[in-house]
Amino acid sequence: MAENIRLMQGNEAVAEGAMIGGLRFFGGYPITPSTEIAEILARRLPKVGGKFIQMEDEIASVGAIIGASLAGSKSMTATSGPGFSLMVEGIGYAYMAEVPTVIVNVQRGGPSTGLPTKVAQADTMQARWGTHGDYIAIALAPQSVRETLDLTVRAMNLAEVYRTPVTLLTDEVLGHMREKVTIPEEGELEIINRQKPDVPASWYKHFEITPNFKSPMASFGDGYRFHVTGLTHDEEGFPTNKSVEILAKLTKLRNKIMRYLDDICQIETDGMEDAHVAVYAYGIVARAARQAVQMARARRMKVGQVRPITIWPSHDKKYKEIFSSKNLEAVIVAELNQGQLVYEVQRLVPKHVEVISLNRFDSELITPAQILNKIKEVR
Amino acid sequence: MAQRSDITHKYLRAKKKFPNVWCAGCGIGIVMGSLIRAIDKLELDRDNVTLVSGIGCSSRLPVYLDFNTLHTTHGRALAFATGVKLANPKMHVIVITGDGDALAIGGNHFIHSCRRNMDITCILINNQIYGMTGGQFSPTTPTDSHAATAPYGNKEYPFDIPKLAMGAGASYVARGTVYHVTQLDQLIYDGIQKRGFSLVEAFSNCHTYFGRLNRLGDSVKMLEEMKKNALPLKAAAKMPPDKVQGKLLTGVFCDVEREEYCDRYDALIQSLQGK
Amino acid sequence: MSMTNHSKPDKTGASHNDSELIDRYEIRLSGSGGQGLILAGVMLAEAVATIDGKNCVQTQSYGPEARGGASRADVVISSGEIYYPKPMQLDMLLALSQEACDNYYHDLRENGLLIVDSHLVTQVPTTRCIGIPFSQLARHEIGNTMVANVISLGAICAISGVVSEAGLIEVVKRRAPRGTEEKNLAALQLGLVEGKKAKDRIRL
């Protein structure tokens, strides 16, 4: 059997993807069920000249990766719910200061300390609205170990291209599950590095508002000597109280993402053309959905599936198209929480389409049988 | 003085950022002058200097200076600085912080930065109060002093900053005051030169809040009090303990050699890469 | 809201009449914490995935129960794509403790096969059961109780055929702690022999 085929854990795949994507800095704090990511990167990063540091808490971890990113390193941290809650302060800073960072949240049961070793998808909304203020979040969610690897690389790419934090939402089952993975060949996955300025230092504006809303990013030490702050700032980075500059800054934060939904948003659909019922689920639950859809089709039911790979931002237009499929009568939204994305779906379906919530929050996965039963109830 | 002023102006973002936010007579500007003179004397390449700060009056300092400057969230300057330094060990990383920023909300990062011994210089401007938010008591407000949130006197005990830093493992610990400027220049100069974590406490005045709420007079009066109350460690060593009681000890509290974090990490990289 | 208990599969749901499930084999290795069952599950999965070339997903139960209480590793094997990563109805259950046998027997499908440690599991819930004294064999034949898990892998291979003998040999070599390769390989061979004997005995 080929060398590049391995039995790999989801958390290992994050580390593998990070190495492939060019990660050079990881700052983190141990927390179940994400810790394997830190452990593997502690071993691997120094071998390629990268840096690993275990910080004193999650607040410090996200601070350190922001600092490292500003110094020019591709940076990442990994955590789980309670740690993510501590990180949102720093993540908010990274939105405001437009610092490329990747935050992996291996979701576990909550609220609070909750269930360290059990699966949940209850941080879905936190990934969108975790920190205070207005911003557009990017969050990606894989369903398999190999996709975890691929989306880790993609999260790093998106962070660098759009100068923003990107959250990778996995979960306890995916993080600890082992699966056959073909390690990508060198050059198989696209790796994107941040765009550096090519103007003289006196012309450089670290937060320049350009026609395409993408601004080149110098690193500390490159000779540009810019200012970075979490205060609302002008294009040079200096704090401002002028409403015209405030408007420009916050509009830029929005537009730099919303103008590129077609690039950022990945949605997988299957059999939606003639589906009477659709199952909408992300991450590990999408696999139960896929199984249930196969079982339903074996019973000659017309069932489709929608799987958001990019959880945030929502590509409203695309979803509206998908859900306006002519025969569609109902959408089952299956989530490992008490109902979060279901409100997003409700907002995007035509009036005559029923939205049915299928929730599980007893620390176990939603089973294909549960989804199949729901499908049968609709039919 | 004229010559000194020239040096200062060389490093200011004069056209962009002034006037500053500080009250007339604030000691933070004096610390800024000392920092500039120390950096100038060390002839550091300013592209390779990063100033990192948190939130508060003192943390506004970096924005006025023409270096790489990073104004972070409250208490987290040292955490951000740790990332900058480890990612680029050639960078001279200087953290400007205050008593509330470094010791209350950032207390955890402070002790762990001391312990980790990364080559970061932390200038902690101690004015014994939260100035920016209007005079609430801080971890260094003396017991029974008055503050906006201690209207009947502060019931808590203050941190002794040098002892805290030494206990946590800092390689270089010193205290100066904004009255004793020449000494402060030297302490910051030595702190930046020190390979390892160095902590320079710059004792300063907040006449606007701490002074007013405790009837200590204007900034001149507070500086005069600093002059009277400061006692160099060397002089204190020769004095009976009762005479030292209540004095503000100044000078170098500790200066030890410990292998620096980034050096140790680089050695690890070298050995793993078989160099 | 739907809240069914996962440990008791919903009989109205999946059945092996579903075409997608024909090419799917589900095994649970269960027992007490410390019996090396999660490692055995990983070894089984690794042999299937990296040497036999089939698709395979291995999951496990962590948490307080992994310390001394019931412990389990699940392996789903298919030559096609595996959608749902956890077992829906077990084809095979290995139980190395009475508690595990009692807890998980109900997850076995109608014609599923139960393999127990005949020394540790004295009350079996079905006659469709193979008993092999794994722990006793480990102690007396190999001289190390720690290899009971590897003996059971050999038996699973001989009885189910879902994993190749060559695959297991390779993975045991890879994964055995240094200096214990011989013992572990001997344990695997013993398991293969005992498994074959048991299979002939019961004539499934």
What mean pLDDT do residues C35-54 have? 96
Domains A5-182 and A267-378 share a fold: yes
Q: CATH no. for residue C81?
A: 3.40.920.10
Model ipTM value? 0.97
With 90 as the cut, is the pLDDT of residue C70 above it?
no
Q: What is the pLDDT of residue C8?
A: 37
pLDDT value, residue C14: 43
- Start-to-end Cα distance in chain A: 46
How close A220 comes to chain B (CA, Å)? Answer: 6
Which residues of chain A does C46 touch, with a Cβ-Cβ cutoff of 8 Å?
7, 178
DSSP string, B4-28: HHHHHHHHB-HHHH-S-SSPTT-TH
Please check the confidence at residue C188 and state whether its pLDDT lies above 80.
Answer: yes
Look at residue C202 in the predicted model and tell me its pLDDT.
76
B contacts of A240 (beta carbons < 8 Å): none
Both tokens of C41, joined, read 């599950």
Burial class (CB in 10 A: 0-12, 13-18, 19+), A155: buried
Residue B122 has pLDDT above 60, yes or no: yes
- CA dihedral (A19, A22, A27, A32) positive or negative: negative
Is residue A365 within 8 Å of A119, Cβ to Cβ?
Answer: yes
- Interface contact flag, A367 C4, Cβ < 8 Å: yes
- Classify residue C172: in a domain, yes or no: yes
Task: Give me the residue from A5, A291, A338 closest to C50, CB to CB.
Answer: A5
pLDDT at C5 over 80: no
Domain that holds residue C63: 23-202
Contacts of C19 in chain A (CB under 8 A): 294, 298
**In the prediction, which pLDDT does C127 show?**
87
C-alpha B49/C-alpha C94 separation (Å) is 63
Q: What is the DSSP letter of C104?
A: H
Flag whether A touches C (3+ CB pairs, 8 A cutoff).
yes
What is the dihedral sign for C-alpha B80, B81, B84, B87?
A: negative
Hey, what amino acid is at B12? L
- Please give the interface size between A and C, counted as residue pairs whose CB atoms are below 8 Å apart: 121
Q: How far is B233 from chain A (nearest CA, A)?
A: 33
Burial state string for B33-42 with b = 16 or more CB within 10 A and e = fewer than 16: bbbbbbbbee
Q: B92: distance to nearest CA of chain A, Å?
A: 10
Supply angle C-alpha A314, A95, A313, rounded to 5.
5
Q: Which two tokens stand for residue B150?
A: 């201690």
Q: What is the mean pLDDT of residues C111-127?
A: 94
Nearest chain C alpha carbon to A372: C13
Spatial contact of B140 and B163, defined as CB atoms under 8 Å apart: no
Distance CA A199, CA A212 (A): 17
- Cα distances from C13 to residues A295, A368, A376, B141, C74, in angstroms, run 9, 7, 10, 68, 20
Domains of chain B and any CATH numbers: 2-272 (3.40.50.970)
pLDDT number for residue C106? 94
Q: Residues with Cβ < 8 Å from A202, sequence gap 6 or more? A: none
pLDDT-derived band at C68 (thresholds 50, 70, 90) equals low
Question: Looking at residues B177-190, what average pLDDT do you find?
Answer: 98
Per-residue confidence (pLDDT) for residue B170, from 0 to 100:
98
- Yes or no: say if B69 and B62 are a contact pair by the CB < 8 Å rule: yes
* A4: exposed, middle or buried (Cβ count in 10 Å: 0-12, 13-18, 19+): exposed
Average pLDDT over residues C158-166: 96
Q: What is the pLDDT of residue C17?
A: 46
Is C152 among the domain residues?
yes
- Which of C53, C59, C83 lies closest to A1 in CB terms? C53
Q: Are the C-beta atoms of residues A334 and A281 closer than 8 Å to each other?
A: yes
> Is B161 in contact with B175 (CB distance < 8 Å)?
yes
Dihedral of the alpha carbons of B225, B229, B234, B238, in degrees to the nearest 10: 140
A6 touches chain C (CB under 8 A): yes
User: Total domain count for chain C?
Assistant: 1
- Specify the 3-state DSSP secondary structure of A185: coil
* pLDDT > 60? residue B96: yes
Q: Is residue C198 part of a domain?
A: yes
Amino acid type, A16: E
Chosen for mutation from A179, A299, A370 (greatest number of chain C CBs closer than 10 Å) is: A179
**What is the residue-wise DSSP string for B60-110?**
GGGGGBSSEEEE-STT-HHHHHHHHHHH-TTSEEEEEEEHHIIIIITHHHH
pLDDT tens digit sequence for B193-237: 999 999 999 999 999 999 999 999 999 999 999 999 999 999 999
Which chain A residue has its CA at the smallest distance from B271's CA?
A47
Contacts of A223 in chain B (CB under 8 A): 47
Q: Are A80 and A107 in contact (CB under 8 A)?
A: yes
pLDDT band at B275 (very low <50, low <70, confident <90, very high): confident
Distance between CA atoms of residues C148 and C134, nearest Å: 5
User: Are the beta carbons of A360 and C3 separated by less than 8 Å?
Assistant: yes
Verify C-B touch: 3 or more CB pairs within 8 A. Answer: no
Residues C59, C24: contact at Cβ < 8 Å? Answer: no
CATH topology of domain A5-182: Rossmann fold (3.40.50)
Nearest to C101 by CA among C77, C78, C75, C131: C131
What's the confidence (pLDDT) of residue C65?
47
Q: How far is A355 from chain C (nearest CA, A)?
A: 13
Ranges under pLDDT 50 in chain A: 1
Per-residue pLDDT, B3: 56
The answer, yes or no, to whether residue C1 has pLDDT greater than 70, is no
- Put simply, whether B62 touches A (Cβ < 8 Å) is yes
What's A267-378's CATH class? alpha beta
**Calpha distance B265→B238 (Å, rounded):** 42
User: Is the distance from CB of C181 to CB of C172 less than 8 angstroms?
Assistant: yes
User: What percent of chain B lies above the pLDDT cut of 70?
Assistant: 98
SS3 breakdown of chain B: % helix, strand, coil, rounded to 5?
45, 20, 35
pLDDT of res. B4: 57
Residue C116 inside a domain? The answer is yes
The first and second tokens of residue B123, run together, are: 């200038």
Say whether the A–B interface has 3 or more Cβ pairs within 8 Å: yes
**Which of B16, B78, B86, B115 to mutate: most A Cβ within 10 Å?**
B86
Q: Could you report the per-residue pLDDT of C128-153, keeping only the tens digit for each?
A: 899 999 999 999 999 999 999 999 99
Residues of A in contact with C59 (CB under 8 A): 173, 176-178
**Does C94 reside within a domain?**
yes
Q: pTM score, two decimals?
A: 0.95
Residue of chain C minimizing CA distance to A117: C63
Tell me chain B's radius of gyration from C-alpha atoms: 18
Which pLDDT value is given to residue B19? 87
> How far, in Å, are A230, A275, B49, B187, C6 from residue B205 at the CA level?
27, 73, 27, 18, 66
When scoring A12, A113, A177 by the number of chain C Cβ atoms within 10 A, the one with the most, hence best to mutate, is A177
Please give the full DSSP string across A51-79, using - where no structure is assigned.
EEEE-SSHHHHHHHHHHHHHTT--EEEEE
**Rounded Cα–Cα distance for residues A44 and A12 (Å):** 11
Listed range (A185-189, A260-264, B115-119, C11-15) with the worst mean pLDDT: C11-15
Q: How confident is the model at residue C21 (pLDDT cuts 50, 70, 90)?
A: low
